[in-house]
């Protein structure tokens, strides 16, 4: 990693001590076997589907229905608004997605803005967080973790004027539970692919740096869990979604990125069941991962009430690099 730092002329996640084994640049510095080992060491697997969620999704595993027929099937399923949240979320998500196909055989979203996509195509994702606990904050939210990282050097000034406080990164969605920032989401317009600047800048640089800053704040809250905690990100670029997980697999300095494959939003009703149910599963697993992380974050020992002397052993993950 140090060699890449020395050779680089532009900002890269490595400057923030972030390792993404899938980043093509690492093929110039590691063998395939080494990258595989980095990727798999203490990897944080996604949670399994619960029996309840598996049964719910299986109800919709059929083909050959029109958008209206699929909509009506979902609409006829009874679900308690509180006690059966997963069932309610699934049926309402399917109904909303089917409405996009009313009057058309293929999905056409060329003129949609990122906000339009977030509130139509990806509506199911943030509606999952309407239940108690973790909340999805929409509307270009500022991460306090990122703001804290950018302003780490601010203090009382004696000689020079104190710099203005820098703003944190603006996120399409911020996931919070109380004071804890657990993850974030970045959205790109229809047509964005891996070669576009939007995907590279937001998906490969901004999102990982944001997740590292969130993870750094979490670790300050519960240092003993430094190798257990995670920060979770959703990346929706074009009409596909992937899940991004940030953790510190070993030691207390290098954060690693792991990703799922990209799951497409259905473009026609012929692939609706297979594609959309996979997206629901991915969204649900991201939520479950945040729930488990929150539980681990809150399982901590009582701190002794003592004065700070500077001799205390600290376990702190440094924030990401800021220009």
Three-state DSSP at 45 gives coil
pLDDT value at residue 158: 61
**φ, ψ at 117 (rounded to 5°):** -65, -40
Cα–Cα distance, 230 to 260 (Å, whole number): 15
Which residues are within 8 A (CB) of 239 and not within 5 positions of it... i.e. 6 or more apart?
107, 109, 121, 190, 264, 265, 267
DSSP E strands, the chain: 18-19, 135-142, 170-177, 180-187, 230-237, 240-247, 255-259, 263-264
**φ, ψ at 294 (rounded to 5°):** -65, -40
What 60-64 contacts at long range (C-beta under 8 Å, 24+ apart), as own/partner pairs, is: 60/90, 60/94, 60/273, 60/277, 61/273, 61/277, 62/273, 63/270, 63/273, 63/274
- Domain limits of the chain? 1-149+166-298
Q: How far is CA 35 from CA 29, 46, 251, in A?
A: 9, 20, 18
Cα–Cα distance, 67 to 62 (Å, whole number): 12
Contact 44, 255 (CB under 8 A): no
Cα–Cα distance, 60 to 276 (Å, whole number): 10
* Four-residue CA torsion sign, 238, 63, 270, 100: negative
Query: pTM of this prediction?
Result: 0.90
pLDDT in tens, the chain (323 residues): 888 888 888 889 999 999 999 999 999 999 999 999 999 999 999 999 999 999 999 999 988 889 999 999 999 999 998 899 999 999 999 999 999 999 887 887 777 888 889 989 999 999 999 988 999 999 776 777 776 766 666 666 766 776 776 666 788 999 999 999 999 999 998 777 788 889 999 999 999 999 999 999 999 999 999 999 999 999 999 889 999 999 999 999 999 999 999 999 999 999 999 999 999 999 999 999 999 999 999 988 888 788 877 765 666 888 888 76
SS3 content of the chain, % helix, strand, coil (to 5): 40, 15, 40
Which residues are within 8 A (CB) of 76 and not within 5 positions of it... i.e. 6 or more apart?
none
In the numeric block, which tokens belong to residue 99? 């409405």
Nearest 5°: the CA angle 101, 107, 112 is 110
Which of these, 97, 71, 70, 75, lies nearest to 87 by C-alpha position? 75
């Amino acid at each position: 990693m140090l060699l890449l730092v020395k050779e680089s002329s532009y900002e890269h996640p490595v400057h923030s001590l972030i390792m993404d084994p899938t980043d093509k640049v690492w093929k110039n510095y590691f063998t395939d076997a080494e990258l595989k080992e980095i990727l798999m060491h203490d990897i944080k697997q996604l949670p399994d589907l619960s029996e309840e969620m598996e049964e719910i999704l299986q109800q919709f595993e059929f083909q050959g229905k029109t958008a209206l027929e699929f909509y009506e099937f979902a609409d006829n399923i009874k679900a308690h608004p509180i006690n059966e949240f997963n069932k309610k979320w699934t049926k309402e998500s399917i109904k909303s997605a089917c409405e996009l196909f009313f009057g058309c055989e293929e999905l056409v979203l060329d003129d949609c803005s990122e906000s339009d996509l977030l509130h139509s195509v990806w509506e199911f994702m943030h509606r999952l967080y309407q239940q108690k606990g973790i909340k999805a904050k929409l509307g270009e939210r500022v991460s306090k973790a990122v703001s804290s990282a950018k302003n780490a050097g601010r203090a009382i000034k004696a000689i020079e004027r104190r710099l203005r406080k820098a703003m944190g990164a603006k996120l399409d969605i911020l996931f919070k539970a109380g004071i804890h920032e657990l993850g974030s989401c970045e959205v790109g317009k229809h047509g964005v692919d891996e070669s576009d600047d939007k995907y590279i800048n937001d998906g490969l640089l901004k999102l990982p740096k944001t997740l590292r800053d969130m993870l750094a704040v979490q670790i300050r809250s519960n240092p003993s869990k430094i190798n257990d905690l995670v920060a979770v990100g959703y990346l929706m670029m074009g009409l596909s979604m992937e899940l991004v997980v940030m953790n510190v697999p070993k030691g207390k300095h290098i954060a690693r990125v792991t990703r799922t494959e990209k799951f497409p939003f259905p473009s026609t009703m012929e692939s609706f069941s297979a594609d959309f149910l996979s997206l629901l599963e991915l969204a649900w697993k991201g939520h479950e991962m945040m729930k488990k992380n929150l539980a681990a974050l809150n399982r901590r020992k009582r701190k002794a009430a003592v004065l700070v002397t500077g001799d205390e052993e600290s376990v702190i993950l440094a924030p990401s690099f800021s220009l």
